[in-house]
Amino acid sequence: MIIAALVVSIVAAAGSIGAVGYARRSARSAETAAGAAEKTAALDAERRHSELTPEFEFVLTTGGTASATRAS
């Protein structure tokens, strides 16, 4: 009976150690994923900003000649 209790407590301790290791690995993965999501959000915001930036084309006429100037 004592040996069975010892085996159960050793298995429980090993399970606890495994759970701690898994939790640490999971936390590290969550940090990595958060960093990647932040970079992706920044790239998407930059892309969206450039897509929404208006482009104008002006035609100036001076002295009978026309010149086209593109502003961005």
Question: How does residue 65 score in pLDDT terms, banded at 50, 70 and 90?
Answer: low
Query: pLDDT of 41-52, one tens digit each?
Result: 999 999 888 888
Mean pLDDT for the stretch of residues 47-67: 77
Domain total for the chain? 1
What is the extent of the structural domain holding 24? 2-71
pTM over the 0.85 mark: no
DSSP code for 53: S
Distances (CA, A) of 7 to 10, 15, 16, 63: 5, 12, 14, 100
